[in-house]
């Protein structure tokens, strides 16, 4: 019995009130059909856990982490969170507060997840209130005729069916309260068990998923972004697509409000052809969802390169993943910076209440070094006017050192090697500098291409000869402008219900080998091609590939031998061989959203307040796998942990181990893989599927094989299992040269054996003394007859 | 060696500052070892294991690695995608992700790659520096039953024992020495 001491101040929603509210708004035919199918909203049955508190889903978490035990890789041996410390936690030593190294790692993960969830959700809250102010709280949530289940996460977790922007506040309030409790448990002398810290981190991850869904729904409906359009337009991408002869406004960050303000102003003035509006990071994705004339410079890895190039006249920053030294960098070429949110004020004077023209003149005359403007409409006006007035004078500043000069400075290199040592990826920058000093720029170009160097700037500041390595990179980019022209399919938002109806069965039965989602930052260990190549591999193999944010951009930066991008080669359908860009970071919510919808639309599982049953369904039946390949922020910790709680495995790149915690399964422990067949009531032995919940691979080849394996699910039919194993074996042979020796673990009956590999597999089966076993009809890890696993014992 | 204006102590430090300096984790640092000490460790070990990563795929490291494994008759685990090229070169190994093998190594009950019992010494070469550093940290904290030794050209402060930071030429000499008793 769990004693719940956290205050339960939020009650499940009274649906009657909500029902009457919904009568006031115009509803589409689709909605009526949906409501009828459900027997009217009054009949919505509330599951056991609407608005779960911190401890309400703890038994589910304990089941997950019993099978997928936390694997800790301490990034630091000490704790310095309070003034009793620093405390040394090596060799079994505990901190002055009594915490041990495992709990400390789990606490840091929880902290990261709380930060990540807060970043997404504060962004969502800001957008929501801004859009309510603009459109009114009764503005309807209408996702178009093809999306009835508009908010699968909100429905499942919060237990409400939001009908208006105002309704989203209830979900937001709940999320914010939970995050507060979670953050509090990171305080000295609170939680002491690493497993409970994990359970809280999983809760924080879920809150992150919820916050993202609120944010994306609000912006989709209020800003009329694409609503699940598979054929959303292709938009221009790449440094080379920006017209340098025009005034350029660059938006960096994640919050669309200020970028939309710029677009609106430019359109109102009818000067679309005279100004370039472009973006870096998710702000870019979202302004192109708002207006397809905007351009995408590229992912986060382009940030310093592009700022140094001096092309941007005005840099509008909003929130998250922006270089915090943007003001200092902008000053180097007299670009003007406008900060636009409370998250990042950069020490600038708040000019929100000043007249636009006064701010413009102060910026132009260098009376202020930048401005904080918290009103997106005013941002639009000021940014555009400033850009138009200073662009001509800044022409000279857009010139980078010429190649002779570069050779001369590079020649100063002492070959101390520190640039390479401080590089997060150990990139051979020294060799490139030395070669440049001898007039050979090819090595520099190699590092520039595909963002192998992601211009973090660490090498430059370490250089004892102060060689301006980042400016050299920017110059190299200038020489290659013509090549830097690509495209990306504008973010489409949710997956349509009709698509789920079409692919739900093939996914659950295994006839469609899997859904692979590439999300997160692009600071990849081996450059941008890593992810594009993985995406290509799975697309060619009939998987559904979903992507978002910076990952979606790098996929667009890759061309095949015929010069086509993957967006040109593959459709945007959520179907086999579909390459689906859902949108920005907050749009990631649509990925678990699609899995939830499969449980609801295909399997008729009720959603409201029914988290555990849905997550159990996804874990055992929906062959989906997330991939976050780059070095990434706290948001990724939250995204991945939330995705994990839904039962979806995630593969990280090698930097992922620095999150300090993975969730790894042990295939040698057969008892961990038992399944409860709900239909027959029997406990049956299962396969390690998915084998891990959170895995870090050392390189692309390893990751590719791991992804294919992680799409296997206990529910696969024999036909589906054959198909999935064929891909797993094919890829294993391609990258490791052999048939994987663990293949026998995934063969339940002879019919599971892929025909192409029959002979080889049969001999493996014989060698391993394999015996056939029963296929569960409804595999689950819940409610075992003898449910000792459900007890929360800790360890 | 004529080292004008440079303190010899600094030069020594240079060899034992973690190759990526920011992986420094706390008070417990690796012991700097020479090939001689490394070989002593191998001789003393009852059940050593050799973990070989994808950075060892290129010559001459590939051949040296293979010869070291053969000389000491070490069971080998390959990580990343190192398996194939070593198999083609005639060195059989068990393929594992680096996090998978580290996860097994930290369990005192695990029976080792040969099923004969948990290993007591794990020697690493060729794993990507920062993921290796994290794996070594796991073993430093959670595997008191074994020792870790790294023979890359990078100083790994999270190992129990590590070669220093070296230039290629010196490193190759070190590896040559590892091929003999
Ligand atoms: S929180 Fe605990 S372990 Fe950390 S510094 Fe304070 S007393 Fe030490
Ligand atoms: S800028 Fe960063 S990624 Fe590029 S070489 Fe320098 S340290 Fe490495
Ligand atoms: S840090 Fe500077 S001087 Fe040292 S190797 Fe790199 S470029 Fe040359």
Tens of pLDDT, residues A418-472: 999 999 999 999 999 999 999 999 999 999 888 899 899 999 999 999 999 999 9
Residues 6+ positions from A584 with CB-CB distance below 8 Å: A216, A254, A256, A282, A283, A285, A286, A289, A491, A548, A549
What's the confidence (pLDDT) of residue A453? Answer: 92
**Residue B72 placed within a domain:** yes
Q: Residue A631: what pLDDT? A: 85
The reply to whether A486-780 shares the fold of A234-398 is yes
* Closest CB from B27, B28, B80 relative to A698: B80
Q: Give the separation between CA A258 and CA A280, rounded to whole angstroms.
A: 13
> Could you tell me whether strands A276-280 and A248-252 are parallel, antiparallel, or unpaired per DSSP bridges?
parallel
Q: Per the domain annotation, does B12 fall within a domain?
A: no
Contact present, B141 and A72 (Cβ < 8 Å): yes
Identify all chain A residues contacting B128, using CB atoms and an 8 Å cutoff. 525, 654, 698-699
**CA A432 to ligand 3 centroid distance, Å:** 10
What whole-number distance in Å separates Cα of residue A745 and Cα of residue A673? 11
CATH of A486-780 among 3.30.70.100, 3.20.20.70, 3.40.640.10, 3.40.50.2030: 3.40.50.2030
What is the residue with the minimal CA distance to atom 6 of ligand 1?
Answer: A82
**Coil vs helix vs strand at A427:** coil
Ligand closest to Cα of A99 equals 1
- Cβ–ligand 3 contact at A466 (below 6 Å): no
- Whose C-alpha lies nearest to ligand 1, atom 3? A95
State the distance between the two ends of chain A, measured CA to CA, in whole angstroms.
17
Domain assignment of residue B139, given as a range: 30-178
For the segment(s) A34-222, the CATH number from 1.20.1270, 2.40.160, 1.10.1760, 2.60.120 is 1.20.1270
Question: What is the residue with the minimal CA distance to atom 2 of ligand 2?
Answer: A456
Judging by beta carbons within 10 Å of its beta carbon (0-12, 13-18, 19+), is residue A69 exposed, middle or buried? buried
Query: Where along chain A do its domains lie?
Result: 34-222, 234-398, 403-467, 486-780
Q: What tens digit of pLDDT does each residue of B28-82 get?
A: 899 999 999 999 999 999 999 999 999 999 999 999 999 999 999 999 999 999 9
The tokens describing B83, both together, are: 């398996």
Total residues found in chain A within this entry? 795
CA nearest to B17 within chain A: A421
A735 in contact with chain B, both atoms CB, cutoff 8 A: yes
Q: Kindly identify the ligand whose nearest atom is closest to the C-alpha of A83.
A: 1
The model's confidence at residue B10, banded by pLDDT at 50, 70 and 90, is low
For chain B, the residue count is: 181
Profile chain A (795 residues) by mean pLDDT over runs of 10 residues: 40 35 35 35 80 98 98 96 95 96 98 97 96 97 92 98 98 98 97 98 98 97 95 92 94 94 96 95 90 88 90 96 95 95 97 98 96 97 97 79 91 96 94 95 90 92 95 87 90 96 92 94 84 97 96 93 96 97 95 96 95 98 95 92 98 95 96 95 95 98 98 96 98 97 97 97 96 94 72 36
Query: Are A118 and A215 a contacting pair, CB within 8 Å?
Result: no
CATH code of the region A234-398: 3.40.50.2030
Pocket test for ligand 3, best of A409, A418, A432, A458 (most atoms within 8 A of CB): A418
Residue B24 burial (CB < 10 Å; 0-12/13-18/19+)?
Answer: middle
pLDDT score at A254: 92
How far apart are the C-alpha atoms of B156 and B129, rounded to whole Å?
8
Site from B77, B99, B110, B167 to mutate, A interface, most A CB atoms within 10 angstroms = B99
Paired sense of beta strands A694-696 and B121-125, if any = unpaired
pLDDT(B9) > 70: no
Determine the pLDDT at residue A22. 37
Q: How far is A559 from A238, CA to CA, in rounded Å?
A: 13
Q: Is the CB of A414 under 6 A from ligand 3?
A: yes
Backbone φ and ψ of A431, nearest 5°: -60, -40
Task: Note the pLDDT of residue A99.
Answer: 98
pTM of the model: 0.93
As for how many domains chain B has, the answer is: 1
Give the nearest partner residue to A654 out of B19, B95, B128, using CB atoms.
B128
CATH code at position B96: 3.40.50.1220
Q: Do A698 and B25 make contact, defined as CB atoms within 8 angstroms?
A: no
State whether the beta carbon of A433 lies less than 6 angstroms from ligand 3: yes
Contact A426 B20 (CB under 8 A): yes
Which H/E stretch holds residue A297?
strand A295-298
A411 lines ligand 2 (CB under 6 A): no
CB B175 within 8 Å of CB B151: yes
> Which of B19, B83, B135 minimises the CB distance to A73?
B135
State whether B54 and A73 contact (CB < 8 Å): no
Q: Which residues of A26-52 are buried (b: 16+ CB within 10 A; e: fewer)?
A: eeeebbeebbeebeebeebeebebbbb
Check residue A395 and give its pLDDT: 76
Pocket-testing residue among A77, A89, A96, ligand 1, by greatest number of atoms within 8 A of Cβ: A96
Residues 6 or more apart in contact with residue A99 via CB below 8 angstroms = A79, A87, A89, A107, A192
Helices A194-222 and A590-597, interaxial angle, to 10°? Answer: 90
Using the Cβ of B55 and the Cβ atoms of chain A, whether some distance falls under 8 Å is answered with no
């Amino acid at each position: 019995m769990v004693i719940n001491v956290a205050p339960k101040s939020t009650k499940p929603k009274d649906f009657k009130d909500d029902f009457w509210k919904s009568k006031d708004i115009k509803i589409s035919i689709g909605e009526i059909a949906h409501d009828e199918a459900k027997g009217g909203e009054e009949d919505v049955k509330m599951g056991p856990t609407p608005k779960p508190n911190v401890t309400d889903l703890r038994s589910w978490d304990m089941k997950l982490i019993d099978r997928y035990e936390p694997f800790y890789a301490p990034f630091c041996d000490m704790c310095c969170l309070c003034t009793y410390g620093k405390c040394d936690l090596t060799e079994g030593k505990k901190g002055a507060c009594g915490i041990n190294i495992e709990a400390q790692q789990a606490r840091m993960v929880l902290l990261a997840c709380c930060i990540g969830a807060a970043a997404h959700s504060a962004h969502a809250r800001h957008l929501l209130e801004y859009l309510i102010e603009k459109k009114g709280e009764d503005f309807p949530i209408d996702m178009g005729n093809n999306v009835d289940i508009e908010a699968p996460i909100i429905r499942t977790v919060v237990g409400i069916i939001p009908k208006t922007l105002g309704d989203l506040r209830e979900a937001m309030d709940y999320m914010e309260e939970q995050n507060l409790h979670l953050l509090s448990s990171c305080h000295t002398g609170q939680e002491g068990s690493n497993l409970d810290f994990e359970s809280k981190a999983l809760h924080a991850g879920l809150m992150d998923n919820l916050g993202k869904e609120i944010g994306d729904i609000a912006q989709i409906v209020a800003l009329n972004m694409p609503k699940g359009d598979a054929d959303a337009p292709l938009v221009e991408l790449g440094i080379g697509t920006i017209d340098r002869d025009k005034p350029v406004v660059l938006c960096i960050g994640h919050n669309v409000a200020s970028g939309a303000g710029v677009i609106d102003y430019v359109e109102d003035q009818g000067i679309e052809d005279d100004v370039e509006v472009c973006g870096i990071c998710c702000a870019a994705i979202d302004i192109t969802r708002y207006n397809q004339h905007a351009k995408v410079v590229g992912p986060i890895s382009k940030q310093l390169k592009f700022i140094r190039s001096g092309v941007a006249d005005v840099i509008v920053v909003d929130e998250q993943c922006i270089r915090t030294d943007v003001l200092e960098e902008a000053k180097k070429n007299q670009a003007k910076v406008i900060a636009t949110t409370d998250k990042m004020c950069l020490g600038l004077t708040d000019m929100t209440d000043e007249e636009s023209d006064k701010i413009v003149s102060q910026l132009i005359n260098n009376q202020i070094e930048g401005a904080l403007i918290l009103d997106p409409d005013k941002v639009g006006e000021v940014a555009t006017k400033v850009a138009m007035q200073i662009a001509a004078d800044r022409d000279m500043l857009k010139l980078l050192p010429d190649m002779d000069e570069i050779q001369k400075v590079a020649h100063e290199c002492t070959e101390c090697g520190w640039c390479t040592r401080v590089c997060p990826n150990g990139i051979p920058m020294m060799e490139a500098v030395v070669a440049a000093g001898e007039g050979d720029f090819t090595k520099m170009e190699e590092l520039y291409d595909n963002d192998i160097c992601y211009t973090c700037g660490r090498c430059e500041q370490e250089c004892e000869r102060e060689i301006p390595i980042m400016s050299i990179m920017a110059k190299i980019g200038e020489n290659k402008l013509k090549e830097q022209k690509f495209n990306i399919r504008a973010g489409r938002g949710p997956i349509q219900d009709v698509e789920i109806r079409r692919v739900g069965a093939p996914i659950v039965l295994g006839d469609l080998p899997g859904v692979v989602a590439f999300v997160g930052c692009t600071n990849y260990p081996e450059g941008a091609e890593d992810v594009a190549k993985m995406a290509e591999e799975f697309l060619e193999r009939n998987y559904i590939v979903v992507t978002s944010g910076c990952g979606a951009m790098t996929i667009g930066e890759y061309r095949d031998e015929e010069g086509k991008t993957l967006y040109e080669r593959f459709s945007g359908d959520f179907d086999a061989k579909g390459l689906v860009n859902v949108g920005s970071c907050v749009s990631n919510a649509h990925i678990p959203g699609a899995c939830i919808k499969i449980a609801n639309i295909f399997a008729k599982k009720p959603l409201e307040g029914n988290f555990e049953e849905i997550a159990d369904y996804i874990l055992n039946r929906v062959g989906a796998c997330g991939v976050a390949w780059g070095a990434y922020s706290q948001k990724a910790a939250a995204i991945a942990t939330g995705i994990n709680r839904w039962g979806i495995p995630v593969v990280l790149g090698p930097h992922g181990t620095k999150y300090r915690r993975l969730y790894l399964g042990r295939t040698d422990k057969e008892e961990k893989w038992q399944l409860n067949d709900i239909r027959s009531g029997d406990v049956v032995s299962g396969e390690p599927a998915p084998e891990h919940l959170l895995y870090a691979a050392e390189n692309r080849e390893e990751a590719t094989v791991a992804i294919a394996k992680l799409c296997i699910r206990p529910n696969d039919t024999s036909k589906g299992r054959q198909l999935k194993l064929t891909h797993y074996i094919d890829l294993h042979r391609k990258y490791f040269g052999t048939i994987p020796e663990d293949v026998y673990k995934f063969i339940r009956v002879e019919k599971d054996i892929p025909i192409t590999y029959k002979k080889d597999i049969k001999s493996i089966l014989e060698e391993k003394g394999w015996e056939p076993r029963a296929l569960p009809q409804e595999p689950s890890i819940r409610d075992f007859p003898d449910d000792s696993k459900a007890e929360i014992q800790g360890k | 060696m004529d080292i004008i204006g440079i303190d010899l102590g600094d030069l020594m430090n240079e060899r034992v500052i973690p190759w990526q300096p920011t992986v420094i984790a706390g008070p417990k640092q690796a012991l700097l070892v020479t090939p001689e000490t490394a070989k002593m460790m191998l001789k003393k070990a009852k059940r050593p294991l050799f973990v070989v990563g994808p950075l060892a795929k290129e010559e001459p490291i590939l051949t040296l690695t293979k010869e070291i494994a053969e000389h000491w008759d070490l069971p080998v685990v390959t990580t990343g995608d190192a398996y194939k090229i070593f198999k083609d070169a005639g060195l059989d190994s068990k393929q594992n992700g680096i996090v998978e093998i580290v996860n097994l190594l930290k369990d005192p009950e695990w029976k080792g790659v040969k099923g004969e019992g948990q290993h007591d010494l794990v020697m690493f070469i060729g794993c990507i520096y920062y993921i290796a550093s994290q794996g070594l940290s796991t073993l430093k904290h959670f595997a008191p039953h074994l020792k870790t030794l790294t023979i890359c050209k990078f100083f790994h402060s999270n190992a129990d024992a590590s070669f220093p930071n070296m230039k290629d030429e010196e490193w190759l000499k070190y590896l040559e020495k590892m091929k003999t008793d």
